[in-house]
Structure 1
Amino acid sequence: MPELPEVETVRRGLAALVEGKIVTNVVVRYSKMVSPKAEIFAEELEGKKILNVRRRGKYLLIDFSGDYTMVSHLRMEGKYSVVDRHEEYGKHDHVIFELDDGKDLRYNDTRKFGRMNLVHTGEELQVGGLKTIGPEPTPETLTLEYLTHQLRNRKRGMKSFLLDQSMIAGLGNIYADEVLWLSKIHPQQISNTLTDEEIEILRESIFEELQLAIEAKGTTVFSYLNADGHAGSFQNQLHVYHRQGLPCQRCGTPIERIKVAQRGTHFCPHCQVLR
C-alpha cells in the first residue's frame, strides 16, 4: 500500500500536471469505486476546474470549482496517470477524467480496492479514516509533547502504535520498520516503556526517514508508480524492509522477519533488543 512518501510524490506530480485544467467528461468503468453513484459523480464534476491537489496522511484530496472535493484513497494498487486521450484504455483503468487540454487523468487499480468520495469542500475530513486521523509527521504538527503523551498513555507494541493512523498519519509497514531500525527500538517494545531519549530519537527518525523517502520519490517494492509513470528509488536505501537474512548495515547481524500486528516485520535482533 502506498504510504505517505508515495502519496506525497503522486500529489506533487498531479499538482504539476492537472491543476488549472477543466474536466470536460468523466467515464466511470467500475461504479463501486466512486461515491455518490457513478452518474451523479460524473455529472457533478463535468465542467469543473481542478483547483488544488492536497494530501492528508495517505489520502489525496482534489479540490474542484463549485466547492467540491474528491477524497481518493489508493489502497493497495491504485495509480494515477496523465496520458493522451487517443491512448486505448488499459484493462484496469477504472475512472477517467477527460481534461480540456486533450489529455486524460486516469485511475488504474488492478485490485479495485481504491475509492473516490466526492463531497462538498469543508466536509472532506468527515470521510472514512479522515475522521480520526492523527497529526501529520512534521516537526510543527508531531510535537514531542504530543508523541510523549500518546506513548506514555498506551501499552502497545511499537510497530502497532506506528501503524495506527489515529496516532500518526501516513506511516505504514515499510516506514514503520525503517524508523524503528533507525531508532534501535524493537517492533514489539511496549510503548509506555520508552525512555525520554528514545522518544526524541524516534521522533527525529520519523522526520528524517520520510523526508529522504519523499526526495527519492517513494519506495517501489511491488508496483507503485508516480503520476509520471516512473518508479520511486527509495527501495535502494532501505535498511531492513525485505532484507531478511541479509547483514544489518550497522552491526552485520542477519536481519530477521516476524509477524507483528498481522504484518511482516523486519528488524535487527542485535541492534533492536526487546527489553
Structure 2
Amino acid sequence: MPEIPELEAIRGFFQERLPGVAITAAQVRIPVVFRTPASEFRETLPGDAFEAIDRRGKFLLFGLASGRILAINPMLTGRFQYLPPEAKLPAKTCLVLQLATGPTLRYADERLMGKLYLLPADRLSAIPGWSDNGPDLLDPALDEAAWLRRIARFRGQVKNILVNAAFVQGIGNAYADEILWEARINPYTPRTRLDEDDLRRLFRAARDVMAWATPLAREAMVRGDSLDYEERRDFLRVHRRGGQPCPRCGTPISEITANQRITSFCRTCQPGGP
C-alpha cells in the first residue's frame, strides 16, 4: 500500500512535469474504480490541463485548469505510471491519459480497490470520510503540541493509533513499524502507558522516517524521465525483516501476524508491550 514516502515521491515527480501540460485523450478501461461517472473522465478531461499536484493523506490530488481536482486514492494495489504510449499496459490498467508532451499517465490497480474522483476543488468534502479524518502527518500545523493534543483523544495500542486516519493521515502498516522502531517504542504498548517524552519522541520519529524514506522511495520507482511504481521497499529497516538482525542492536527482528497485518519490531530496542 502506498504511504506518504511513495506518494510524496510520485507527487514530486509529477509536480516537476505536469503543470501546464494539456490532456489530449482519456481512456477509461475499467470503470469499477471510478467514483465519479466514468463518462465525465472520458468526455471532459481532454482539453483540460494540469496545474499543481498535491497530496493529502493517501490521496494524490491532480489540480486542473478547469478548477477541478482529479483525486486518486490507490488503496492497497493502485499503481501510477508515466511512460511512452507504446509501453505495455498492465492488465488491470484503469485509466490512461494521453498528454500533449507525448507520455501517458496511467493508473493501474491489480485488485481494483482504488478510488478515483473528478470534483470541483471546493467539493472535495464530498469524498466519503474526507472531513472526518485527521490532519496529514506532514501538515505544518501539526507541531508537537498539536500531536500531543490529538493523540490524547485515542486509546488502545500505539500502532493501531498511528495507522488510524482519524488520528493522522498518511501512515500505513509498513511505515508505522519503521516509526516505532525509530522511536524505540513497542507497537503493542497502550497509549496510556506512554509518557509525554515518549509521545514527543514518537512525533519526531514519524517526521524523520518520512524525510529519510521519501528519496529512497523515489529511487525505487523513477528511471530518468519515466515513472513505473512497483512496491519495492528493500530499504526498510524492520518491516518484513522477521528473523533478520536488527540494524541497531543485532537482535533477530520479531514478526507477528494478526488480523491480516504483519507487525515487525525488535524486542530489545522496543521493550514492553502488553
Does the 8 A contact of 1:163 with 1:173 survive in 2?
yes
Q: Which shows bigger deviation, 211-220 or 200-209? A: 211-220
Partner of 2:10: 10
Cα distance change of structure 1 residues 271 and 116 upon mapping to structure 2, 3 Å threshold: same
Distance 1:21 1:11 in 2: 15
1:253 corresponding residue in structure 2: 251
1:264 to 244, 247, 262: 262
Alignment partner, residue 121 of structure 2:
121
* Mapping 1:12-27, distance limit 5 Å: 12-27=12-27
2:196 paired residue number: 196
- SS of the equivalent of 1:145 reads helix
Match in the other structure for 1:48:
48
Q: Which residue matches 2:72?
A: 72
Shift of 1:231: 5.9
Following the alignment from structure 2 to structure 1, what is the Cα–Cα distance between the partners of residues 196 and 151?
10
Change beyond 3 A, Cα 1:187–1:20: same
Aligned to 1:241: 239
Alignment of 1:184 onto 2:176: no
The verdict on how the C-alpha distance between 1:129 and 1:10 changes in structure 2, with shifts beyond 3 A counting, is farther
For 1:189 and 1:249, the matched residues in 2 are separated by: 22
Per mean C-alpha deviation after superposition, the further-off stretch among 139-148 and 58-67 is 139-148
Amino acid at match of 1:215: P
Normalised by the length of structure 1, the TM-score is: 0.90
What is the match of residue 229 of structure 1? 228
Segments of structure 1 that go 5 or more residues without pairing to the other structure are none
Which amino acid counterpart does residue 200 of structure 1 have in structure 2? R
Contact 2:254 2:266 in 1 (8 A): yes
Tell me the secondary structure at the aligned position of residue 228 of structure 2: coil
Alignment CA distance shift 1:268-1:135 (3 Å): same
Task: Name the stretch that deviates more: 134-143 or 181-190.
Answer: 134-143
Letter in 2 for 1:209: V
Q: What secondary structure is seen at the aligned counterpart in 1 of 2:234?
A: helix
Aligned residue type for 2:262: G
Is the Cα–Cα contact under 8 Å of residues 30 and 92 in structure 2 kept in the other structure? no
Distance 1:273 1:118, change over 3 A: same
CA contact (8 A) 2:33 2:114 kept: yes
Report deviation, 1:64.
Answer: 0.9
Distance in 2 separating the partners of 1:234 and 1:113: 21
Does the 8 Å contact 2:253/2:264 carry over to 1?
A: yes
TM-score, structure 2 normalization? 0.90
- Partners of 1:89 and 1:151 lie apart in 2 by 43
Deviates further, 66-75 or 211-220: 211-220
Identical amino acids, percent of aligned pairs: 27
Aligned to 1:170: 170
SS at 1:128 equivalent: coil
| Counterpart amino acid of residue 269 in structure 1 | R
| 1:14 counterpart SS class | helix
The total of aligned residue pairs comes to 270
Measured after TM superposition, the shift of residue 232 of structure 1 is: 7.7
CA 66–230 in structure 1, closer or farther in 2 if over 3 Å, else same: closer
